[in-house]
Structures are given as structure tokens and as C-alpha cells.
Amino acid sequence: MSTLYSVLFPLIAYLLGSLPFSIWVTRFVKGVDVRDAGSGHATTTNTIRQAGFGWGALVFVLDVAKGFIPTYLAFHANNIPPYIIPITAACAVIGHCWPLFANFRGGMGLATAGGSLLAVNLLAFLICLGLLILLVLTIRHSARASVFAGILIAPTLWIFKIHDTAFWVALGAGFVIAVRFLIDWNRKYSELWLDREKADKSERKQ
């Protein structure tokens, strides 16, 4: 049974993570592909730009659920090897970033990674969220801040004496986040979250 779980939970997590809600929502509401504008990624922020805040909020909740549900189920399963839980969390984030159902062009994984952490330890989730916000405010470049957050969330939890499953979930999901955000390392913007459009317009004027 443990061998079955070793395959089943990560597989379910990847498939669930691959559900491209932002693409489906913007296509339903506006008839466009969310990836054709803005950052070019299937994200909550891009959904907000193209379909409005309400639809973006819905996508955010669904993206969090993609990480929360499989990780929660694995975390509470009986007779499961402990390493399956962080692998499951990482697979959910991988599915979101490189979705099977959207030609492997997905989002950036932050909401899904947050859902995975929330499923195992609320305090760990809050600490990691606080670290991400601090890095964004300090670095003032969302992608670079997210790369550093992906690298630092597990060591930060260790410093806070959180050495349980949440540490390993943060390690796995954080690695995926760091790799994913490297694609935007040199993106030209200096906003705090939703001002990309503003930054892009100012660049075009120059």
C-alpha cells in the first residue's frame, strides 16, 4: 500500500496542480488567454488585470486549493512514508508551473506552494508569507524576491525551530518556486505587485 501511495499522491497532486484555472476563467470571462498579456504567465495578478479583482480572487482561492487538498490528504493518510508529503506538495507546485493541461505554460506557483504549507502548519505558512512580503518590500523586484524566498523559507523555518513536515514541504516547494522565478529575473519592473502595467507604460514612453 505504501508503494501505491508513493505514486498515487504525487500523481494526483501534479494533475490537480495542472488545472489552469486562470486560463479557463479569463477565457470564459473575456475570451482571451491570460498568458497573452501582462507578465505572460497564468497567475492571479494577470487574471486581475484582464478579468477584474473578483475573478482574480476566485483564481487565487482555487490555486491555493490545488496545493492544499493533495498535501492535506497525504498529511492525514495512514501508513504513508513521511517523504511522500513534501514530494506531493512539490508535485502540486510543479503542476501549476508546468501544467499538463495547458501546454506546460502555467503560473509561478506561489499560491499553490502557500496552500501546501497551509495544509501542514499554519504558523509555518504565516512565517513564509511574512518573509516573502519582507523580501518584496526590500528588493522591490517581485521575481528576485520570490527566488530568494524560495531558497530561504526552509532555513527560516529551521531557525524558528519548525523541523517537522512543514520544513520539508518548504524545502521542496521552495526549490520549485526559486527555479520557476528565475525566468523573470531580468524582467524590467520595479513595482510592488500590481504596478507592472504602470512600469511598462513608463518604459514605453521613454
Give pLDDT tens digits for 91-116: 999 999 999 999 999 999 999 999 99
Is residue 63 within 8 Å of 111, Cβ to Cβ? yes
Which has the higher per-residue pLDDT, 39 or 82? 82
The 3-state secondary structure of the chain, one letter per residue: CHHHHHHHHHHHHHHHHCCCHHHHHHHHHHCCCHHHCCCCCCCHHHHHHHHCHHHHHHHHHHHHHHHHHHHHHHHCCCCCCCCHHHHHHHHHHHHHHCCHHHCCCCCCCHHHHHHHHHHHCHHHHHHHHHHHHHHHHHHCCHHHHHHHHHHHHHHHHHHCCCCCHHHHHHHHHHHHHHHHHHHHCCCCCCCCCCCHHHHHHHHHHC
Distance CA 200, CA 189 (A): 7
Residue 199 has pLDDT above 60, yes or no: no
Which has the higher per-residue pLDDT, 142 or 134? 134
Task: Report the range of poorest mean pLDDT among 4-8, 172-176, 189-193.
Answer: 189-193
pLDDT of residue 187: 78
Which has the higher per-residue pLDDT, 205 or 61? 61
How does residue 128 score in pLDDT terms, banded at 50, 70 and 90?
very high
